[in-house]
Structure 1
Amino acid sequence: MNLEPKPATVAGPEQTFTGRVWFDVLCGAHPESAMRVNRVRFAPGARTAWHAHPGGQTLHVTQGVALMGTRDGTVLVVHPGETVYTPPGEEHWHGATPDDFMEHLAMWEDQPGNGAVWAEHVSDADYARR
């Protein structure tokens, strides 16, 4: 058993996020474990780029209201305490509503060479679908 030190909060890179985003790595420092958990905080209007996880991803909203979209045009409105599972390989995005901050826990399994596959930024038109 090991008490883990808290890593510094990191700003989300412009290549994979639109707007201001910060994340804390809660779990993911051990090469023998595939479990990854990040706490991600989005400023109003901020969002990820399109991406997919080869092993799927689970998102649990803890504060604010989230928007989560898929390539077929579906956009879910997700409230605190609600959880969304994205199946392996499904391209999606997630972010805050235009008027509120949002925080979620992002959970996925990651093996070497099997990380998230990032695509283009989400257009304003795709973001505005609700």
Structure 2
Amino acid sequence: MIHGNRLRQSFPFTILLGLFGLLSLTVNAQTDISKGIFAKGQLGPAENFTGKAWNTGLVPQDSTLTTLVGNVYFEPGARSNWHTHPAGQILIITDGAGYHQIQGQPRQKLKKGDVVSCPPDVPHWHGASEKTGMQQLYIVPNTEKGIVKWMQAVTDTEYQDKKK
């Protein structure tokens, strides 16, 4: 009888602990955006990125589709260098938060669901926010014109959007 009472008294406590455990797993799964629907991929070269950015190619360049598609995961604080695309680029933010800036324009905040169109041959950069990573799909059309021209690194002042 005493053993049965202990079981009844501890059973609600066990259920409560289990619910907290499930809630913890759910919260962690929602905040860890590095595990997107695509593989993390290859670490981007340090000469083109500040911090760690991981690239997975999804649709390779070919002469039929002439479109390149991939996924990039930027760790918090990571960003691309300034760069251009001869035929432009489309970004679709699939998770997290970050920034995008076209040269000569203010830095724009990005969040899940945002779509960005980068004009042809116009310098721009994109990357994660300081505290949250960012997942993005990129689409580079008309690859027969070229894919990317890398330029200088984005300075900390530019990244932090502080006026010089």
TM-score by length of 1: 0.88
Equivalent residue number for residue 96 of structure 2: 64
Pairwise CA RMSD: 1.9
Unaligned 5+ segments in structure 1 are 1-5
> Which of the two has higher C-alpha Rg?
2
Q: Distance in 2 between matches of 1:83 and 1:33?
A: 21
1 CA distance for matches of 2:83 and 2:118? 11
The answer for the alignment partner of 2:67 in structure 1 is: 35
**Is the Cα contact below 8 Å between 2:84 and 2:121 reproduced in 1?**
yes
Q: What is the distance in 1 between the residues matched to 2:85 and 2:105?
A: 19
- Displacement of 1:32 after TM fit? 3.0
> SS at the partner of 1:45?
coil
1:96 aligned residue: 128
For these two proteins, the number of residue pairs brought into alignment is 125
Bigger strand share: 1
Determine helix, strand or coil for the equivalent of 1:93: strand
- AA of the residue aligned to 2:55: F
- Deviation string for 1:59-114 (max 9, x for gaps)? 01000012001221411101101101011111000000000111000111253461
Determine the structure 1 residue equivalent to 2:154.
122
Q: Whose relative contact order is higher, 1 or 2, with alpha carbons under 8 Å and at least 6 apart?
A: 1
Query: Identity over aligned residues, as a percent?
Result: 30
Q: What amino acid maps onto 2:100 in structure 1?
A: M
State the match for 1:74 in structure 2.
106
Single out whichever of 65-74 and 9-18 deviates more from structure 2. 65-74
Select the structure that is richer in helix.
Answer: 2
Unaligned 5+ segments in structure 2 are 1-37
Q: Is the 8 A contact 1:60 1:84 kept in 2?
A: yes
Offset at residue 35 of structure 1 (A): 0.8
